[in-house]
Amino acid sequence: MLQFIRTYAGSWVVKILFVLLIVSFAAWGIGDMIRTGGISSTVASVGKVEIDRAELDQEFRRQMERLRPMVGGNLTTEQARQFGLLDQSLSALVQRALYDQAARDAGISVGPDVVRQRIAEEPAFRNAQNQFDPNQFRSVLRNNQLTEDGYVALLRRETARELVAGAVGAGVTPPKLLVQDLYRFRGERRVAEVVTLPNAAIGDVGVPDEAELTRYYEDHQVRFTAPEYRALSIAQLSADEIAKDIEIPDAELRAAYDERADELGTPERRTVEMVLADDEAKAKQIAEAAKTKGLTAAAKDAGTDVITLDNVTRNELPEIGDAAFALAQGAVSDAVRSGLGWHVLTVTAIQPGATKSFEEARDQLLAELRKEKAMDSLYSIANRVEDQLASGAPLEEVAQAQSLPIAKIAAVDSSGKAPDGKDAAPGRPNFAAMVQTAFQLASGATSNLTEAPNNVFYAVRVDGVTPAAPKPLAEVRDQAVAGWQDDKRAKLAAEKAQDIAAKLKQGSEAAAQDVAGQSGASFAMTTPFTRDARSVEGLPGELVRKLFEVKPGETVTGATADSQVVARLKEIIPADPAASDATLATVESTVAQGLESDIMAQFGNALRDRYPVEVHRNRIDQFFASGN
């Protein structure tokens, strides 16, 4: 489903479905709300519309799901609040309520024809042949726990909001002079002569005496500081580990085989052609005609299209599967009714199914039953572990009581590395999340039982903390000497670069090449570049910015990690908006978007004046306080 959502991330239907992506979590925190007794659950009001705590909770969870992949998959509720997701969620709900009321008061009504057209045109509901696929339509809704009526209601509200926004932002025309000025600013290009002096060109700078080395070491201790290390104990519970020890009697395997015989092997698949009609009379007319001239010709005569469903199983055709799989190949069905309307079906190809014997299916059944029983045990054991940890029982005692393995990590830093720079626990799944959990605990503390991907739970205890501390000079002497030498070369190279810059302020291109050659530096002429270039042929982004602040013939200087750079501006190439090759469309679009955004912001403020917004911050803080 996530891959499906990524595929159609730009689609309006996904914007709607994202709102329901985590609908199964809608009851999160409801127990707390009920226990608050007489306290109202309204967290904000927009005009006459009240926003309930459950709505905010659901939107907050949706925002967390959206952000979680960007932060490595781990995001606590408190972290999400610190990122501002709770306020962002409330703002989104307020904005929707404002637009809903504006649409209602403007008398905007979205009729069934508009809804039907938008559903038919939505790419998310189309098959590989780019045709509307009722099966895919139902599948998407089913995966998002949404009924057809519920989806239509959402679509109507979303469409009404779009009409309001479209009316406000329509017809925005950016001023011509503004577009031209911005085009000149963005399109101007410059050419520079660049002299690059490697720090290494300075050569031998000797070694520091003891006093210099000690001073360098003390001034740069952060370079020579070992990170904080922690010793950990990790108890882990996983479905796979539980499954290994589960024995399944043959009698139970045979019973499962008899029960799941239809699921084993390969199911029968059919290619079904279908015509969808609005009413029964039209469907019957098409069915009668199709029995003599074929479905394609009958559909053409009726002014409609044939939808092809390739290689589908009975279960993939809700409501019409029985009818489709009761047909002989080439036969045409009578009119069949579903939630989408009336169907006429024909089967053009049949791929027979095949059933596995018990011996062929034994290993598959064994693995499935073990996994099912393991999953049943997993959450039961997890609950017991959680209760024991909450009661203060030591991690070893809990692990022994529940037969959990405990792993010991002698020392690990916040990045998961051991003191030798290697991975502290190579091959251990979810170890990064475990380390992150551990570095949020005090020494001696044990975490709550935490759920990780792939049906894994873990608890981690910090057995000891070795604070970050500078390594002794004797231990890092070679690195300190090398660091002092690098800094010395960079300083001398920077001084030499200033001499090069002074010489470049006068003279020709050939003179610049001579200066570079005499200084042990390299010379290059850049291609024309614009001010938004991050780097140009070895020219750092900071020097690109500086070169747009000087006149031709003037020089600027800068540094990279291992060299000094001197650049002389050679030429300015203006951007002419009147030129035949001028491309103003992109700039015009950018300006229009900016103006539209400003107008929409002003419209939002106007809606707030018309429909006053009141936020009950004290209730939000109480309902969503840390730990609730």
pLDDT, position 536: 81
Q: Rounded to whole angstroms, what are the CA distances from 290 to 278, 340, 519?
A: 17, 21, 89
pLDDT for residue 125: 86
Confidence at residue 65, expressed as pLDDT on a 0 to 100 scale:
80
pLDDT of residue 341: 85
Which residues 6+ apart lie within 8 Å of 369 measured at CB?
A: 246, 248, 252, 253, 256
Q: What is the pLDDT of residue 262?
A: 65
Residue 628: per-residue pLDDT: 53
Predicted local confidence at residue 267, as pLDDT: 83
Q: pLDDT, tens digit, for every residue of 263-279?
A: 677 888 999 999 988 88
Residue 610 has pLDDT above 60, yes or no: yes
pLDDT in tens, 349-408: 999 888 778 887 788 888 878 887 777 777 888 888 888 988 889 999 998 888 888 999
- pLDDT category, 510, cuts 50, 70, 90? low
Where does the pLDDT of residue 509 fall: very low under 50, low under 70, confident under 90, or very high at 90 and above? Answer: low
Asked if residue 423 has pLDDT above 60, the reply is yes
Q: List the end-to-end C-alpha distance of the chain, in Å, as a whole number.
A: 30
pLDDT of amino acid 217? 94
Using alpha carbons, select from 123, 146, 138 the residue that is nearest to residue 316: 138
Confidence band, pLDDT 50/70/90 cuts, at residue 34:
very low
Nearest residue to 452 via CA among 368, 382, 373: 382
pLDDT over 90 for what percent of the chain? 42
Report how far residue 615's alpha carbon sits from residue 63's, in angstroms, rounded to the nearest whole number: 19
Please report the pLDDT score of residue 72 as a whole number: 60
Q: Sorting pLDDT into bands at 50, 70 and 90, what band is 506? A: confident
Greater pLDDT, 162 or 413:
413
State the residue for tokens 């015509």: 275
- Report pLDDT for 21: 38
Q: Return the higher-pLDDT residue of 587 and 145.
A: 587
pLDDT in tens, 102-145: 888 888 888 888 888 888 888 888 887 778 888 788 888 877 76
Question: Which tokens go with 499?
Answer: 């001499």
- Considering the chain, what is the average pLDDT of its residues? 85
pLDDT at 286: 92
Q: Give Cα 196 to chain centroid, integer Å.
A: 41
pLDDT confidence of residue 39: 64
Structure confidence at residue 12 (pLDDT): 43
Choose the weakest-confidence range: 95-99, 238-242, 400-404: 238-242
CB proximity list for 24: less than 8 A, separation 6 or greater: 145
- CA of 117: how far to CAs of 14, 110, 125, 276, in Å? 17, 11, 12, 14
Q: Any idea which of 243-247, 445-449, 466-470, 592-596 has the lowest mean pLDDT?
A: 243-247
Asked if pLDDT for residue 147 goes beyond 50, the answer is yes
Tokens of 559: 């540094």
DSSP character at residue 472? P
Q: Report how far Cα 472 is from the mean position of its chain's Cα atoms.
A: 44
Does residue 431 have a pLDDT over 70?
yes
For the cut 50, the answer to whether the pLDDT of residue 10 exceeds it is no
Classify burial at 69, counting beta carbons within 10 Å of its beta carbon; exposed 0-12, middle 13-18, buried 19 or more: exposed
Predicted confidence (pLDDT) at residue 36 exceeds the cutoff of 80: no
Task: Please list the alpha-helical segments (H only) found in 107-191.
Answer: 112-121, 134-143, 148-169, 176-187
State the virtual CA torsion across 481, 484, 489, 494 in degrees, nearest 10: 170
pTM for the full predicted model:
0.52
For residue 151, the tally of other CB atoms under 10 A from its CB is: 20
CA distance 161 to 158: 5
Give the pLDDT band (50/70/90) at residue 74: low
Q: pLDDT (tens digit, 9 = 90+) per residue, 438-477?
A: 999 999 999 988 888 877 889 999 999 999 999 999 999 9
So what's the pLDDT on residue 6?
Answer: 35
Q: What is the mean pLDDT of residues 305-323?
A: 88
316 Cβ contact partners less than 8 Å away, ≥ 6 residues apart: 135, 309
